[in-house]
Amino acid sequence: MQRIDLKKWIHIVVTVLFFLGAFSLVAGAEEKQALVGKTVNINTASAEEFAKNVPLIDMELAKKIVEYREETGDFQVLQELLQIDGFSRTLLRKIKPFLLLEGLGGDDCTC
């Protein structure tokens, strides 16, 4: 049996880790690409649509969004989501690319 010296062993490990990291970056990019164009209109979406299409939104928070909208009317600005228990500025910043703000008539809110 042939022995591999420490430098060669380290080189092999680093090479494998490099390729694993590169693969994960490509997989992450493909995952993001798959989500492009999948926006949810916060004034018309059901709780199921929120939970299915918006990352980081579970069914519990999705139901809170719909309940808030039913109680207060259409959202005028995305920042209104911060009024819902469980929302933070960090969460809003992360999910903002997946949200669309249109009135029920199909017009963009200009508020």
* CB of 47 closer than 8 Å to CB of 65: yes
State pTM to two decimals: 0.61
* Domains in the chain: boundaries: 1-36, 40-100
Q: Outline where DSSP puts E strands in 22-80.
A: 40-41
pLDDT attached to residue 32: 47
CATH H superfamily, domain 40-100: Photosystem II 12 kDa extrinsic protein (1.10.150.320)
List pLDDT tens digits, range 13-48. Answer: 777 666 666 555 544 555 544 444 579 999 999 999
